[in-house]
Amino acid sequence: MIAQVAAVQLANALKHIYINPLERCNLNCQICYTRKTSPILTSTQILDFVTAYQKVQKLETITFCGGEVLALANFPDLINTLTQQSLFIQVITNGTINVLKKIQHPNSVNFIVSIDGIEKLHDANRGLGNYQKSINFLRHAIKLGCHCEVFSIVHHQNLNLIDEFEIELKKELGVLPPITYHPRKPPLYLETHPVANILGQVTGFDFLTQSEMLELMQTRRVFPSPELGCYQIAVASDGQVYGCCEGTMPLGKMTESPAGLIAKLRQRLESWSQTNEFQGCLGCSQPDFMCGIKPYLKKLPQK
Ligand SMILES: C[S@@+](CC[C@H](N)C(=O)[O-])C[C@H]1O[C@@H](n2cnc3c(N)ncnc32)[C@H](O)[C@@H]1O
Ligand code: SF4
Ligand code: SF4
């Protein structure tokens, strides 16, 4: 049996799937942790999976990530097809490729744009001029009526500039979008993940120390959240399906029955329930991995 709290979380999580159609990207960020492998899912593969999934499970939201999905010429058409089916679409993007005028239902799309702190530090990671491109993307998206959020990588050098970053962002946009901070994937994550394990440049982007990580987890909205619960059916560009966006052990393939994939995710959470040692935790689909944050969670006060 899954713990009651995780059962409720799973019921909600199943209404939201994650798809990574490609790993390739138009940028080459200094601290990106993902490998730029070649496979790319076609729109037909994606739509077939979505249709099969909806036959067994209510679906409300799809989050797309990459690589950079807005580098795919047919991606705006795919978004439009899915929003026409009354699905809510989230796109995690670097915001440097502006295809917004092709989006037919702006209010059905949430653009989650990555901005890694103040302009100087963002551009040091992503390349000169890219901060302004991403800000212009956000301004345009807000004007069109899209939902907008920000993901922001935090490392030792930009941690103490978060307040300054939020002031700067609000000044640029007129509003402060919801921000989720992503602590730079810690060494334990990179050592353990079989594919997403690029170390990248460290000088100028040092990993957070243990106390910095704990402070960030307790003071800002972070991913993964200390309560976890971040599992969902997640399709990767090679057609493998995982139990979350950071998965390392597949549940199966996207051509398999979605009911079977969901049953395997449920089993993972059943075994998590039997071994979980954290109060109030919503569960993890890969407790042996846990994004490398288990040592930090052990140091946080238990609720
Ligand atoms: C791999 S990117 C793909 C989407 C898109 N290309 C972008 O940059 O937003 C997905 C998310 O991972 C974040 N990310 C990249 N490298 C990271 C790292 N070393 N630690 C934590 N998050 C990272 C990005 O900032 C982005 O929000
Ligand atoms: S963080 Fe995003 S934009 Fe930067 S290289 Fe990685 S996938 Fe591309
Ligand atoms: S490994 Fe666990 S903590 Fe990490 S994203 Fe997956 S479910 Fe969340």
Residue 6's pLDDT is what?
Answer: 86
**Protein residue whose Cα sits closest to atom 6 of ligand 1:** 68
| Contact indicator for 250, 242 with CB cutoff of 8 Å | yes
Tens digits of residue pLDDT in 185-206: 999 999 999 889 999 999 999 9
For a ligand 2 pocket test, name from 20, 22, 24, 25 the mutation site with the most ligand atoms within 8 angstroms of its C-beta.
Answer: 25
Q: How far is the CA of 32 from the centre of ligand 2 (A)?
A: 6
Q: How far is the CA of 276 from the centre of ligand 1 (A)?
A: 28
Tens digits of residue pLDDT in 106-145: 999 999 999 999 999 999 999 999 999 999 999 999 999 9
Q: In one letter, which amino acid is 77?
A: D
Residue 301's pLDDT is what?
Answer: 86
4-299 folds as TIM Barrel (3.20.20)
Tens digits of residue pLDDT in 228-280: 999 999 999 999 999 999 999 999 999 999 999 999 999 999 999 999 999 99
263 backbone dihedrals φ, ψ, rounded to 5°: -60, -40
C-alpha–C-alpha distance, residues 53 and 47, integer Å:
10
Q: What is the CA radius of gyration of the chain?
A: 19
For a ligand 1 pocket test, name from 20, 91, 92 the mutation site with the most ligand atoms within 8 angstroms of its C-beta.
Answer: 92
Tens digits of residue pLDDT in 34-85: 999 999 999 999 999 999 999 999 999 999 999 999 999 999 999 999 999 9
For a ligand 3 pocket test, name from 180, 248, 291 the mutation site with the most ligand atoms within 8 angstroms of its C-beta.
Answer: 291
Ligand 1 binding pocket, CB closer than 6 Å? 25, 31-34, 65-66, 68, 92-94, 114, 151, 153, 182, 184-185
Burial 288-298 (b: 16+ CB within 10 A, else e): ebbbbbeebbe
The domain spans of the chain are: 4-299
Residue 4's pLDDT is what?
Answer: 85
Residue 302's pLDDT is what?
Answer: 74
Residue 303's pLDDT is what?
Answer: 65
Burial class, 47, CB count within 10 angstroms (exposed 0-12 / middle 13-18 / buried 19+): middle
